Amino acid sequence: MKLFALLLILISFTTISAHAFELIVIQAVSETKKTFITRNGKRQGIQPGATGTFTAEDISVLAKAINVSGNFTQWQLINPDAIFPFEKGAIITYYSATEYIWALAPELERRKYIKSQIRTPKSSLVFKGAISRGLSETVSETTATTPTRGGYMGEIYYERDLFGYLAFDVGLRYEREVINYSGASLITQRNLAIIDLLYYFEFFPDYISGGQFFLGAGMGYGLSNTSTVGLSQSGPVSLLPTVKIGISFPFNDNWGFILDGASESLSTKEEQEDGNIQTTNQTNFKVGFGLRRTF
């Protein structure tokens, strides 16, 4: 009988340890150290007036929920003489109990969680397709016009994390653009090498594990060729700058979906058949989508 009771206690303790604890991050602490805010609210089952225990290592305090929104809760220490012992950004253990639980603080799990949140450098290959639309254009030695421009492109990038949430990529692009003037159409083909600097942010971590929002800026250089019936001219093209914004959604540990939009400034200097150099400056907007393979 005693053995059965001991097994029952061990099973209960294991269940509590596995399911009752929640690791949370302290979002803010008041100047008085009497109230603090955590990122868990009504969507996680917390209601105004609820009490909970907050622990880390050998420290444990009791607090009461005084303001609760969908994803955030403001807590007030129950003991008026106590001072909240944790700082903003600390990762601690929340337990929806009304007693101090010094012996049950899952410190090992907390350390594992902290380690899992440290971004380790990774490499990836990004395969993208994109469509572009011309916004503005100026051409040397010609009357100002407003042609209709648009095209498509294929891109491949190698991306590598630097430190923190900063990364860089280098890649190749093939682009085909159709330019429609009144009474004539031109086709421009570009081959570019591109380098970008990227910064990643956490994107809805409560809903999409690993999803990230990113900003980027970069430049590129390559060759351009413009042709139509009876005309062909080519020369170097520079891309500076390109500014992009996008989101990345993982499917699993290795594959993910990526979507981005970018504004790009292109400068082309093509040599015509008579030897003259024609300079074209244009601004494009593009939307790209594709797959990421992480290593």
Maximum Cα–Cα distance across the chain? 103
Q: What is the pLDDT of residues 206-237, one digit of tens each?
A: 555 567 899 999 999 999 999 998 889 999 99
Q: What is the pLDDT of residues 30-78, one digit of tens each?
A: 999 999 999 888 888 899 999 888 887 778 888 999 999 988 999 999 9
pLDDT higher for 208 or 285? 285
At residue 184, the pLDDT reads 84
Query: 272: which DSSP letter?
Result: P
Do residue 260 and residue 216 come from a single domain?
A: yes
As a whole number of angstroms, the distance between CA 166 and CA 250 comes to 18
Residues 6+ apart with CB under 8 A from 206: 39, 71
CATH number of 84's domain: 2.40.10.340
Last residue of a domain, one of 117, 150, 175: 117
CATH number of 160's domain: 2.40.160.20
pLDDT higher for 13 or 288? 288
pLDDT at 104 over 70: no
Q: pLDDT over 70 for what percent of the chain?
A: 81
At residue 9, the pLDDT reads 39
- What is the pLDDT of the chain when averaged over all its residues? 84
Report the pLDDT averaged over residues 4-31.
59
pLDDT band at residue 4 using 50, 70 and 90 as cut-offs: very low
As a whole number of angstroms, the distance between CA 59 and CA 56 comes to 5
pTM beyond 0.75: the answer is no
pLDDT band at residue 7 using 50, 70 and 90 as cut-offs: very low
Number of domains in the chain: 2
Do residue 164 and residue 47 come from a single domain?
A: no
At residue 140, the pLDDT reads 87
Do residue 173 and residue 81 come from a single domain?
A: no
Nearest CA-CA partner of 100 in 60, 59, 63, 64: 60
Do residue 155 and residue 185 come from a single domain?
A: yes
At residue 141, the pLDDT reads 76
As a whole number of angstroms, the distance between CA 84 and CA 60 comes to 10
Do residue 143 and residue 229 come from a single domain?
A: yes
At residue 29, the pLDDT reads 93
At residue 274, the pLDDT reads 83
pLDDT band at residue 27 using 50, 70 and 90 as cut-offs: very high
Do residue 287 and residue 199 come from a single domain?
A: yes
Last residue of a domain, one of 69, 88, 117: 117
At residue 192, the pLDDT reads 98
How far are the Cα atoms of 196, 242, 243, 267, 285 from residue 220, in angstroms, in the given order? 9, 8, 12, 11, 15
At residue 204, the pLDDT reads 55
Asked if residue 131 belongs to a domain, the reply is yes
- C-beta separation of 141 from 278 below 8 A: yes
At residue 116, the pLDDT reads 58
Last residue of a domain, one of 117, 139, 168: 117
How far are the Cα atoms of 66, 116, 126, 130, 155 from residue 289, in angstroms, in the given order? 45, 28, 10, 6, 10
Do residue 55 and residue 193 come from a single domain?
A: no
Q: What is the pLDDT of residues 131-187, one digit of tens each?
A: 999 999 888 877 766 689 999 999 999 999 998 789 999 999 999 999 998 878 999
Q: What is the pLDDT of residues 82-96, one digit of tens each?
A: 889 999 988 888 888
Report the pLDDT averaged over residues 183-196.
94
Do residue 142 and residue 279 come from a single domain?
A: yes
Q: Which range of residues forms the domain containing residue 146?
A: 123-294
